[in-house]
Chains A and B, each alone.
Chain A
Amino acid sequence: MYKFYWPVLWQYRAIILDGLLVTLVLFFSGGIAAIVLGTIFGAISAIPSRLARVACEFYVEINRNTPLIVKLFFLYFAFGLEAYPAAIFGLALHQSAYLAEVVRSGIQSISKGQMEAGLSTGLSRAQVMRRIIFPQAFIIVLPPATTQIIETLKNTSVAMTIAIPELTFQTQHIEAYSFRGFEAATAATVIYLLMSFGISAAALAAEWKLRSRRLRAYSVGIDRLAPT
Chain B
Amino acid sequence: MDVSVILDNLPFLLEGFKTTLELTVLTLCGGLFFGAPLAFARSAQAALPRYFSLAIIETIRGTPILMLIFWIYFLLPRLVGVAVPAYAAGLIALIVFNTAYSAEIVRAGIQSVELSNIDAARAGGLSWFQTARYIIMPQVLSNMTPALLSQGVMVYKTTSLIYVIGVVDFFRAATIIDNREFKSVEIFTFVALVYFIPCAVISRISRKAEMKRAYGFQVGRGV
Contact = CB atoms under 8 A, between A and B. Distances in A.
A193 B195 contact: no
A154 B171 CA distance: 20
Given A70-B160, A185-B74, 12 more contacts: A62-B196, A64-B203, A66-B192, A66-B196, A69-B171, A73-B191, A78-B184, A171-B70, A175-B74, A189-B68, A193-B59, A197-B62
B25 interface: no
A86 B64 CA distance: 20
A196 interface: yes
Interface size range of chain A in the complex? 35 or more
Interface size range of chain B in the complex? 35 or more
Contacts of B63: 154, 189, 192-193
Given A67-B195, A70-B195, A61 B203 contact: yes
B67 A168 contact: yes
Dominant secondary structure of chain A at its interface with chain B: helix
Contacts of A84: none
Given A70-B160, A160-B66, A172-B70, A77 B188 contact: yes
Contacts of A1: 81
A155 B158 CA distance: 11
Nearest to B200: A65
Dominant secondary structure of chain B at its interface with chain A: helix
Contacts of A66: 157, 192, 195-196, 199
Interface of B: 59, 62-68, 70-71, 74-75, 78-79, 81, 153, 157-158, 160-161, 163-164, 171, 175, 178, 184-185, 187-189, 191-192, 195-196, 199-200, 203
Contact of A65 (B62, B178, B195): B195
Contact of B171 (A65, A70, A77, A157): A70
A205 to B, nearest CB: 18
Contacts of A70: 160, 171, 188, 191-192, 195
14 contacts: A61-B200, A64-B199, A67-B157, A74-B189, A74-B192, A77-B184, A78-B187, A154-B65, A158-B66, A168-B66, A185-B74, A189-B67, A189-B71, A193-B62
B66 A157 contact: yes
A157 B188 contact: no
A175 B188 CA distance: 30
Interface in A140-190: 150, 154-158, 160-161, 168, 171-172, 175, 181-182, 185-186, 188-189
B175 A73 contact: yes
